[in-house]
Amino acid sequence: MSAHYPVIVIGGGITGIGILRDLSMRGVKALLVEQKDLCTGTSSHFHGLLHSGARYAVSDIEAAEECYKENLILKEIAPHAIERTEGFFISIDEDDPAYVDRWVAGCSKARIPTEQVDIKTALTLEPNLADSIRAVYRVPDSAVDGFRLIWQNAYSAQSYGGAFRTYAAVTAIHSENGAVKGVEITNILTGEVEQIGCDYLVNAAGSWVASVARLADIPVGVAPDRGLLIAFNHRFTERVINRLHPSGDADIFVPHGAITILGTTSVKVDDPADTTVSSKEALYMLDIGEKLIPELKSYRILRGFAGTRPLFSSGGGRSATRNFVVADHEKDGLKGFISIAGGKLTTYRLMAEKTTDLVCKKMGITEKCRTHIEPLVKKIDKKIYKKALAFFPKLGVDLSISRQGDNFHNVLERILADHKKCALLCECELVTRAEFEEVLSRSGNYPIEHLELTLGTLSDVRRRTRIGMGTCQGNFCAYRGVGAIAETKGAPDTELSAILNKFIEERWNGIRPVLWGVQLKEAELSRGIYQTLLNSAGEPYEERS
Amino acid sequence: MSKQTPDNCTACTTCTAYCPISKATRNFRGPKMTGPAFERFRYLHKGEEDALSYCSNCKNCDIACPNGVPISVFNMLAKAETSQGLRLFARDYIVAHGDLFYSFLRYFPSFLVNFGMLNPLTRIFLDRIGVARRAALPAFCDKPFLKRLNAVKQPQTDEKVIFFPGCYVNMYDPEAGLALVKLLNRLNVEVVAPEGLVCCGVPLISSGFYKECKKNAEKNLKILSKYRGAPIITVCPSCALMIKHDYAELFPEIAAKDIKIVDPSEFILEHQNLKNLEFEEESRKLSYHSPCHQRALGIGKPALELMKLLPSTAVCDLDAGCCGISGSYGFKKEKYRISLSVGKNLFDSLKAADTELALTECGTCKVQITANTRIKTVHPLSLLAERLI
């Protein structure tokens, strides 16, 4: 065993990171391992809705109550990851009017505040809604960004001594005398294998919980359930818009920074990594979404993407409980192994608290949870903010702070040292060269010499900054990004081409299934820049003397 | 027509490559950024950035855009949301409301008014509130266009055109308007100038006075829509562009159909009585500058075609970009230098072409060109009317 940690957490999604932060805040030394980069699974492949709980008010009152409580807590501790948009629940002609009463009763039972809004007011507030809507209720829904939430948790955990390793897949679980001894970690980029010891192992792998538990021959009933999301180029509602009916497909719109996300569908899949997106499914969603937003099909789609819900149930699908279960596998014969299954992003903090409570109880640690009172990001110094305003538009400062949190002052320092670094590397999401370099210096703990190690680099930066996630989908920031990598890290050309191609290919994956309208023009521009101008496909050419 | 979305922008940046302001100053982030790119974030209501005020509304971005994105409209609508503080507000109010000041200054003799407005003391005061001291301001005319039109004895015919004088012709350059009247009368067309028309609103919207601009649009459209079917002619390309395109994009809720704005040069060239017009030769060396808003109309350069009616007279088409003044933009102290740097290419081209008389349709282009090249500049119609036999 090359190292030993009291606790190892498996899974770099919001649950795992939440647990890492909670453990670290309670003084427990812990290491988190993630098979890819942080926030590559369901935590970034969902609609970005911070539930008020109203969606579960009829089907699952317990989940509804939990959601509302956590909604209130997260708005306080994670203001930089959340937009307090509020939400509308809207009933249309084809919806069962009787359901409205049941829903209102459910909300009041779960103590979720609702307020009926008259149609005229609703249409003034949300002019893109269909005129034919029949009833509108206001709820405290909000929009939450999974990326920001994870990175703010991760940086906060780091400041408390928590550690995480990415591209480190758990390939074996070691035990001795019925107790966990450690894990085997395989670096998925290099193939290097490492043994790390631990006393407690927390399986927070989300949709992958069952496959991780299988390494210890323990069955856990988590069934991945795929949902498709569509990201639109602009924000056409100010609020979260839900259909007021029993939860169904394509009935949630979440405005999110500069974009809007429409979700979702529900398809049972065997492989948690099955995030296939089909044009047919996308068109099916637009057909439904159009009933609330009549001009929906005229809006430009940026991309389609899918994630898998980690549903804890034997049945699965939308009827499954959205509650979570903390399973102590001591009863299954493996001491020190704990799995957390089910749940949803809105309740991640509570899930982390309950799991950490159990770990601490076993370790005999009495420190109480503080994640419900301590904000993820410390208050940004007013002086820093003021200084930054000289270099960015106000909007750019706010966005950069929300992305980089406590590290924002490093971004500013880079600009103060070299004013040119305030140039926008990504113009669609307003990311400066300084922010890019700051993130680059923190991501990929890997030396650039190994080609295969660097392939993830641009996408790693993307998840921390949103480069490549706006209108141009990487057309301009990708080549600027590799330019910045070349200058700061000094990588050889062949590696840079590989980084560039990998990034562009990833962007294309989400564009292909929705390749029509203006997005098709954008794709042609991309083809012109990368395949023609930069010959990214590597067509051979003859040098002429 | 519903609100414009930024969806058609592919971020190709062609607009920024064609933006004369972006070339002249680093303070402006370019039309792509302040237009469609920021538009996506405007729904967040996080406030506007100051750089927006650098957009001069010259519309070269709109001309360049391969996807038909109304970039300048995004900028103008967003400007309405910004505030530059009280001092600049006063300045902007003055440069945007020339018509208002004229409405009471016209009771004084023009030489007195012009002395009052243009003397060094006033200029020092104006400079203090942000009107560049060195910027050439236009001088008021003796008698406004509308008064002088009443004195013209026009043929009584069935063919009438509706004339939209615009502030520039009415207050500073009635000759250009009267030139049109003279030419059209010769074609046996009567020019009608309806009562109650106000400033088209270009200077208002360019300085962020959205509500007033909308009021003006409403007033003008109400009057103009009474003359449904009749061609509406203005000799100012900015007024034409505003009425023809921008009203509908800025204020989709009050857009009026059936308003037919016709370019004066096109109208003359296509008229059945064109043969009535005979001209004498012009011996001076002529150069033509096509104003940005004329090019934004998307009808080419009909004035150049019209000038071919002058016998054995060659006109050099400068094709040298924006003059930099953009209405009142170049009068503003912090924009004055930018305005000169934008116009430099045009000034140099004019001098290089050995021009004796410059021609351009736009009133403030004329002021800018003359001030910076000492070359006399007139409306093409003014020259034609002068040479009419």
Output the DSSP codes for A27-88: T--EEEE-SSSTT-STTTSS--EE--SGGGTTT-HHHHHHHHHHHHHHHHH-TTTEE---EE
* B→A interface, C-beta within 8 Å: 2-3, 5-13, 29, 32-33, 36-41, 43-44, 46-47, 49, 51, 67
State which residue of chain A sits closest to B69, comparing Cα positions.
Answer: A518
pLDDT, average across residues A444-457: 54
Question: Could you tell me which of B207, B194, B201, B292 has the C-alpha nearest to residue B249?
Answer: B201
A-chain residues near B27 (CB < 8 A): none
d(CA B112, CA B19): 40
Q: Assign A454 a pLDDT band (cuts: 50, 70, 90).
A: low
Inspect the interface and report whether the beta carbons of A518 and B8 lie closer than 8 Å. yes
Among B7, B45, B48, the residue to mutate for chain A (most A Cβ within 10 A): B7
Instruction: Check whether B257 has a pLDDT greater than 80.
Output: no
In a domain, A22, yes or no: no
The reported pLDDT for the residue numbered B93 is: 86
In a domain, A86, yes or no: yes
ipTM of the shown complex: 0.89
Residue type, A329: H
Inspect the interface and report whether the beta carbons of B51 and A393 lie closer than 8 Å. yes
Q: Does A295 touch chain B (CB under 8 A)?
A: yes
State which residue of chain A sits closest to B6, comparing Cα positions.
Answer: A234
B10: distance to nearest CA of chain A, Å?
A: 5
Whether residue A294 sits in one domain with residue A437 = no
Whether residue A120 sits in one domain with residue A249 = yes
Q: Does A267 touch chain B (CB under 8 A)?
A: no
d(CA A196, CA A8): 9
Q: Does A393 touch chain B (CB under 8 A)?
A: yes
d(CA B103, CA A325): 78
State whether residue B153 is helix, strand or coil: coil
Instruction: Check whether A3 has a pLDDT greater than 70.
Output: yes
Among A240, A302, A521, the residue to mutate for chain B (most B Cβ within 10 A): A521
- The count of structural domains within chain A is 2
The reported pLDDT for the residue numbered A394 is: 78
Whether residue A257 sits in one domain with residue A130 = yes
d(CA B345, CA B321): 7
Domain span including residue A426 = 382-533
Token pair 């770099």 is found at: A12
Whether residue A419 sits in one domain with residue A503 = yes
Question: Could you tell me which of A5, A444, A452, A12 has the C-alpha nearest to residue A188?
Answer: A452
In a domain, A349, yes or no: no
The structure tokens listed for A131 are 């005129």
A-chain residues near B51 (CB < 8 A): 393
Q: Assign A223 a pLDDT band (cuts: 50, 70, 90).
A: confident
Reported residue count of chain A is: 545
pLDDT tens for each residue of A233-254: 999 999 999 999 999 999 999 9
pLDDT, average across residues B296-320: 95
Of the candidate ranges A437-446, A476-485, B320-329, the one whose mean pLDDT is the lowest: A437-446
Q: Assign A443 a pLDDT band (cuts: 50, 70, 90).
A: low
Q: Does A474 touch chain B (CB under 8 A)?
A: no
A224: phi then psi, degrees, rounded to nearest 5: -65, 140
Instruction: Check whether A445 has a pLDDT greater than 70.
Output: no
Q: Assign B139 a pLDDT band (cuts: 50, 70, 90).
A: confident
Nearest to B37 among A236, A399, A427 (CB): A427
Inspect the interface and report whether the beta carbons of A395 and B40 lie closer than 8 Å. no
Q: Assign A319 a pLDDT band (cuts: 50, 70, 90).
A: low
DSSP code string of A395-424 = HHHHHHHHHHGGGHHHHHHHHHH-GGGGSE
Instruction: Check whether A450 has a pLDDT greater than 60.
Output: no
Question: Could you tell me which of A207, A203, A81, A68 has the C-alpha nearest to residue A150?
Answer: A81
Q: Assign B1 a pLDDT band (cuts: 50, 70, 90).
A: very low
Inspect the interface and report whether the beta carbons of A300 and B8 lie closer than 8 Å. yes
Last residue of a domain, one of A262, A284, A312: A312
Of the candidate ranges A359-363, B206-210, B267-271, B337-341, the one whose mean pLDDT is the lowest: B206-210
Whether residue A401 sits in one domain with residue A279 = no
Whether residue A228 sits in one domain with residue A89 = yes
B46: distance to nearest CA of chain A, Å?
A: 6
Instruction: Check whether A449 has a pLDDT greater than 60.
Output: no
Q: Assign A536 a pLDDT band (cuts: 50, 70, 90).
A: confident
In a domain, A5, yes or no: no
pLDDT tens for each residue of A337-392: 999 998 899 999 999 999 999 999 999 999 999 999 999 998 888 999 999 988 88
Q: Assign A393 a pLDDT band (cuts: 50, 70, 90).
A: confident
DSSP code string of A214-246 = HTTT----EEEEEEEEEEESS---SSEEEESSS
Query: Which residues, at least 6 apart from A156, have a Cβ–Cβ distance to it below 8 Å?
Result: A21, A376, A377, A406
Instruction: Check whether B348 has a pLDDT greater than 50.
Output: yes
State which residue of chain B sits closest to A232, comparing Cα positions.
Answer: B7
State which residue of chain A sits closest to B11, comparing Cα positions.
Answer: A472
A-chain residues near B44 (CB < 8 A): 83, 235, 257-258, 395
Token pair 């427990």 is found at: A28
Q: Assign A315 a pLDDT band (cuts: 50, 70, 90).
A: very low
CATH of B274-387, one of 2.40.50, 3.30.160, 3.40.50, 1.10.8: 3.40.50
In a domain, A28, yes or no: no
Inspect the interface and report whether the beta carbons of B43 and A427 lie closer than 8 Å. no
Whether residue A434 sits in one domain with residue A301 = no
Indicate the domain borders of chain B: 6-79, 274-387
A-chain residues near B29 (CB < 8 A): 393
- CA separation (Å) from A430 to A377, A435, A470? 21, 10, 9
Q: What is the mean pLDDT of chain A?
A: 92
Instruction: Check whether B231 has a pLDDT greater than 50.
Output: yes
Please give the angle made by the CA atoms of A69, A74 and A75, to the nearest 5 degrees: 100
Question: Could you tell me which of A341, A271, A335, A285 has the C-alpha nearest to residue A313?
Answer: A341
Last residue of a domain, one of A260, A293, A312: A312
pLDDT, average across residues A498-519: 92
A-chain residues near B10 (CB < 8 A): 471-472, 518, 521-522, 525
Beta-bridge mates of residue B358: B287, B377
Whether residue A404 sits in one domain with residue A258 = no
Last residue of a domain, one of A263, A291, A312: A312
DSSP B274: G
d(CA A56, CA A538): 52
